[in-house]
Structure 1
Amino acid sequence: MSFLNSKSGDDMEEKILLPYTHIKKLPTKEWRRNMKTSFNYWLRVPQDKMEEVVDITEMFYVCTVIEDDILDGTKLRRGVPTAHSTFGLPLTVNSIAHLLLLVLQRCTQLHPKAALIFSEEGLELFRGQGAEVYTRDNFICPTEEDYMTTQAKKLRGIFNLCFRLMQLFSDDKTDYSDFVVKLSMYFQMRGDYCNICNSKALQECSPSTNQNSGDFYDDLTEGKFTLPIIHATKTSKRDAILNILKQKTNDFTLKQYCVSLLEQAGSLQYTRDVLTKLDSELRDEIKKFGGNPPLEAVLDDLLSWRDT
């Protein structure tokens, strides 16, 4: 990553960006990158430009991941201590600002219009992030419509940044923005569902590890109003579920009980139905755009939520 090196030969820049390299080196699922590169099936931009755009987007994504862990008070990411847990809050916060400026610098070098696109999509992401934190910390349950809007902003900032930057070098000027928003919503709701129904995380927990329930339903520990929770507030399980959510518990037994309440309320089935509908709509839209086998393969990989 030569762009992190100091031009003077001093390695201090790499040291102050250790929070970034700490998270960047964690293993990630291949479909994340495949989703971005699959856009090129439509856009047909030169390989070097596509790779640069994907690298810029992934750098921005890691930056938002680091910030997200701070905002949520997360201690572990993929089983490894988070950046702020490892390097401390001051250095990690500084690295976020540093990274944002590095992304801006790379955008200005990429194309005259790229910096404006980055600012527009970055603002959408941080607006969504801010709305989620505000409702969580003030314990305000959003409507399902407001939740959809917030989550779409959070992830469209990543996907649309990639799409729009690539489109700068493409002859295809089709407006894919609605499709990208829907793709973002699907991605986020899938994350909501898998966070609750992650069978692997559940298997790694047990009542004997009651105070350290790992990655099993950590959205509950963070007090997040996700789609299953919002749906459940309209049912007879509302009071019990909201009281558990308010505690921001890390108690395995209590988390397990909350999952059973969500199942009884029909909220998990409702989320499955929403995911199925979104998957179908995305595939229909892909066909309308002339098909995209690489992106369809990514959607196939994402169907793993059905096995949880």
Structure 2
Amino acid sequence: MSNGSLHLEEELLLPYTHILESSSKNMRRRIAEAFNHWMQISDEKMNEVLQIVNMYHIASLLADDIQDGDNIRRGIPAAHCVFGVPRTLNASVHVILLVMKACREYHPEAMDIFNEQSLELIRGQGKELYWRDMFICPTEEEYMGMLRQKTGEMFNLAARLMQLASSNTNDYCAFGRKLGMYFQLRDDYCNISQPEKLEERPSDQILNDYYMDLTEGKFTLPIIHAARSLKGTAVLNILKQRTQDINLKRFCVKLLEDLGSMEYTRKILRDLDRDIREEIARLGGNPAMLSVMDQLLTWE
């Protein structure tokens, strides 16, 4: 790389550093660190994995905000609102290429793992966008499968990279997918009922963030459940509008409560919480992972 190219590196990555430097509860980092109770890799290797996963996550957020039409990220204007869509997309690809370089330096097999997990992530994201843009209500099974791909495989990326530096050969992929499903379902639920509980969204953004998934037109579990009933037609009509009207959003939430869709979602979350804790015990126990689950339980 020439000196001239190096001179612009910092400027080219401004959309990335814009989000990187904003506040975050960083629950994903805590989950990755909890996996190390099982993996027992060195601090040096752990830091390399955390750097790879964090860079990749933020790069994906840059593109996600454009795809979702979100103007706020972590309580500040989204990167594309500040730097424009072209520069933000370019920075996203730029960082992903840096992640690939870091994978090659971390371990000879890391690139294969990165490619495998990335394909699953992209497929999960693609399904969600397809259902939204074509206004096709998925089945509950299809939706849960998407969550396992979209979020669970990001957790598995961290776990599998860590395992390359570990003597532990246990398969944690099924656990990672279930944890990802719970994590994303919880996030979707909080977006409707408790926006102040959302990871990466400070309390002063509660009003702006209130049920943003409805504004984005996303099919989430409460919507899918409500769509089963005739009265759910009103919910689907509101979803189709991608409304920003706070009163209409509140009315939609009331419909979801009245139809039992919110309670159904709470039941699924409780069942998943129980199943994950049982799986942690089956895998030999993990106080750090149990602590993460206790933190995530604040949705109740």
Equivalent residue letter for 2:231: K
Pairing of 1:57-72 with structure 2 (within 5 A): 57-72=53-68
Pairing of 1:146-165 with structure 2 (within 5 A): 146-165=142-161
CA distance in 1, matches of 2:102, 2:128: 29
CA distance in 1, matches of 2:51, 2:267: 34
State yes or no: 1:123 paired with 2:123. Answer: no
For the Cα contact (< 8 Å) 1:121–1:156, is it kept in 2? no
State yes or no: 1:217 paired with 2:203. Answer: no
State yes or no: 1:137 paired with 2:126. Answer: no
Give the CA deviation at 1:30. 4.2
Q: Give the 3-state SS of the residue equivalent to 1:140 in structure 2.
A: coil
State yes or no: 1:54 paired with 2:50. Answer: yes
Q: What residue is the counterpart of 1:94 in the other structure?
A: 90
CA distance in 2, matches of 1:32, 1:59: 12
Counterparts in 2 of 1:46 and 1:222: CA distance versus 1, 3 Å: same
Provide the aligned length of Structure 1 versus Structure 2: 294
Q: What residue is the counterpart of 2:296 in the other structure?
A: 302
Equivalent residue letter for 1:80: I
TM value normalised by structure 2: 0.94
Q: What residue is the counterpart of 1:210 in the other structure?
A: none
Give the CA deviation at 1:32. 2.7
What do the CA deviations read for 1:202-229 (whole angstroms, capped 9, x no partner)? x9799xxxxxx50000000000000110
Q: Give the 3-state SS of the residue equivalent to 2:136 in structure 1.
A: coil
Q: Give the 3-state SS of the residue equivalent to 1:28 in structure 2.
A: coil
Identity of matched residues, %: 50
Equivalent residue letter for 2:280: I
Equivalent residue letter for 1:155: T
CA distance in 2, matches of 1:156, 1:182: 7
Q: Give the 3-state SS of the residue equivalent to 2:239 in structure 1.
A: helix
State yes or no: 1:261 paired with 2:259. Answer: no
Gaps of 5+ in 1: 1-5, 207-212
Q: Give the 3-state SS of the residue equivalent to 1:170 in structure 2.
A: coil
* Structure 1 outlier segments of 4+, above 2 Å: 6-11, 203-206
CA distance in 1, matches of 2:258, 2:204: 24
State yes or no: 1:283 paired with 2:281. Answer: no
CA distance in 2, matches of 1:197, 1:11: 46
Q: What residue is the counterpart of 1:192 in the other structure?
A: 188
State yes or no: 1:293 paired with 2:267. Answer: no
Gaps of 5+ in 2: 198-202
CA distance in 2, matches of 1:254, 1:43: 48
Give the CA deviation at 1:34. 1.2
For the Cα contact (< 8 Å) 1:20–1:62, is it kept in 2? yes
CA distance in 1, matches of 2:230, 2:253: 15
| 1:237 paired residue among 225, 231, 234 | 231
Q: What residue is the counterpart of 2:200 in the other structure?
A: none
CA distance in 1, matches of 2:130, 2:105: 35
Q: Give the 3-state SS of the residue equivalent to 2:155 in structure 1.
A: helix
| 2:246 paired residue among 245, 248, 252 | 252
CA distance in 2, matches of 1:205, 1:173: 43
Bigger mean CA offset, 23-32 vs 165-174: 23-32
Counterparts in 2 of 1:234 and 1:59: CA distance versus 1, 3 Å: same
Equivalent residue letter for 2:128: E
